[in-house]
Structure 1
Amino acid sequence: MGDKFTVIREVTTNVWTFSRPFARFGIIPFGGRSTAIKMGNGGVWILASTTLNPETKAKIDELGPVQYIIGADAVHHLFLAEFKKAYPTAKLIAPAAAVERADKTLVFDGVWGRDAPDTKYGFEEDIKACYFSGFRNRDVAFFHPASATMIEADLLLNLPCTEQYSKTTSSGAIPFMGSLKPSSWLHGKISANMGDDQAAMKRDVKTVADWDFQRIIPCHGDVIETGGKQAWLDAYKSYLDPA
């Protein structure tokens, strides 16, 4: 049976998103999104955060052989087994906090938070990674220089999730609030409160701030096509301001 909810889109050359409805606690529209990048060697790197339905798999297979399956943080592990079963030769990499919660039959080829900080996994010529050891969900941010795109899971939200709910009867708006934007006071408070190691957060927030990106592809909410760097600076102002 075909899937009627997934929005498959080429955001820019060699970067594809797979966006679907997802409600946090079954109530709050957050949206879900996987992102696939075709690398310079022809292989595919994918942040796997939505189900691998037939339409998604067909597009990924069209892009090329999957070489990397990525879990982006502690709670984005639900579909890793599904992807690994479909692409058994791909390297599976995730933060330690995700490994602890994931399907116990999975064998990981790399683990952020356990491996040495300078460990290279093989995709670094195309995609840079920054592991946020001081963020509560132990997220990893990714940077694709060729498209000036940053990809992340829970570090930054851009709600409502209009695209992710575009094939449903819902607007994707948050009940009683409508939106949660990176520049909002509330997002700034959330970003500040999600840090449990201030020194590590300041270091890693600055690392991402130094990347030369304009676009942000979040797992939750609409893609920020331009002005992504400013959105990051706004959301993490508390860690960037001298204090």
Structure 2
Amino acid sequence: MSDIVIREVTPAITIFSKPFARFHIFPFGGRSTAVKLENGSSPPLPSDYKKEYPAAKVVGVEPLEAKKKDVLTFDGLYGKDAPNTTYGFEPEYSKSKASSKVPFFGTFGPHGKVHKYFLWSQSEDKRAMERDAQTVAQWDFERVIMCHGDVIEKDGNAVWREAYKWFLEGKP
């Protein structure tokens, strides 16, 4: 079974995380985030994924069956299928056991110098990044869901400021 972790962060946000190491050394991991829109819908798919990925399972909730009857064929429906029905991905609802430790450097995270150096070195337009980091630093938020790394559950603004410290201070 793959090491994909599926987690409902809030009723409107679900994340799909998969650990992997860049160059088989640096623990990056990857993440997709699904966001339920205010009107109750999810963003539309750009194509029929079932046709593109025939092995994929389309699983939804019972009310979607009527709404999408001309668009999707479901392999399973929560609320319609028997309560003990499994769809094959249930073991993936867990925290990953993968390590975020980088050999010789320690943990790759927003508080470390390695992370700050990586952000700085990857920025092509330092002034634009400084401007954007300042903008985000002024927002009021607790949680940060990144494409790579752990979800920051609390003190998100403080963690953001630490991770982007070189941009906020205008120096490496």
TM-score by length of 2: 0.64
Give 1:185's match in structure 2, choosing from 99, 104, 113: 113
Distance between the aligned counterparts of 2:63 and 2:20, measured in 1? 27
**Tell me, which stretches of 5 or more residues in structure 2 are unaligned?**
45-52, 65-70, 73-93
Map residues 30-179 of structure 1 onto 2, 5 A cutoff. 30-45=28-43, 54=56, 58=59, 61-62=60-61, 163=95, 165-166=96-97, 170-179=98-107
- State whether residues 21 and 32 of structure 1, in contact with CA within 8 Å, keep that contact through their aligned partners in structure 2: yes
Distance between the aligned counterparts of 1:14 and 1:218, measured in 2? 16
- State whether residues 38 and 64 of structure 1, in contact with CA within 8 Å, keep that contact through their aligned partners in structure 2: no
1:18-54 per-position Cα deviation (integer Å, ceiling 9, x unaligned): 11122212443211111111111112249xxxxx884
Distance between the aligned counterparts of 1:214 and 1:187, measured in 2? 20
Report the AA paired with residue 200 of structure 1: A
For 2:164, the equivalent position in structure 1 comes to 236
Distance between the aligned counterparts of 1:242 and 1:172, measured in 2? 28
Name the structure with the higher strand share. 1
Q: How many residues matched?
A: 135
Instruction: Work out the percentage of aligned pairs sharing the same amino acid.
Output: 42
- State whether residues 27 and 99 of structure 2, in contact with CA within 8 Å, keep that contact through their aligned partners in structure 1: no
**Tell me, which stretches of 5 or more residues in structure 1 are unaligned?**
47-51, 66-85, 88-161
For 1:144, the equivalent position in structure 2 comes to none
TM-score by length of 1: 0.47
For 1:14, the equivalent position in structure 2 comes to 12
Distance between the aligned counterparts of 1:27 and 1:240, measured in 2? 29
Q: CA deviation at 1:227?
A: 1.3
1:109-168 per-position Cα deviation (integer Å, ceiling 9, x unaligned): xxxxxxxxxxxxxxxxxxxxxxxxxxxxxxxxxxxxxxxxxxxxxxxxxxxxx94x33xx
Secondary structure at the counterpart of residue 212 of structure 1: coil
Secondary structure at the counterpart of residue 44 of structure 1: coil
1:162-202 per-position Cα deviation (integer Å, ceiling 9, x unaligned): 94x33xxx545333334111111222222222222222112
Q: CA deviation at 1:5?
A: 2.2
Judged with a 3 Å threshold, the aligned counterparts in structure 2 of structure 1 residues 171 and 184 are, in CA distance, closer, same or farther, namely: closer
For 1:5, the equivalent position in structure 2 comes to 3
Distance between the aligned counterparts of 1:12 and 1:187, measured in 2? 27
Give 2:21's match in structure 1, choosing from 1, 16, 23: 23
- State whether residues 43 and 64 of structure 1, in contact with CA within 8 Å, keep that contact through their aligned partners in structure 2: no
Distance between the aligned counterparts of 1:242 and 1:63, measured in 2? 52
Report the AA paired with residue 164 of structure 2: Y
The range that moved more, 187-196 or 208-217, is 187-196
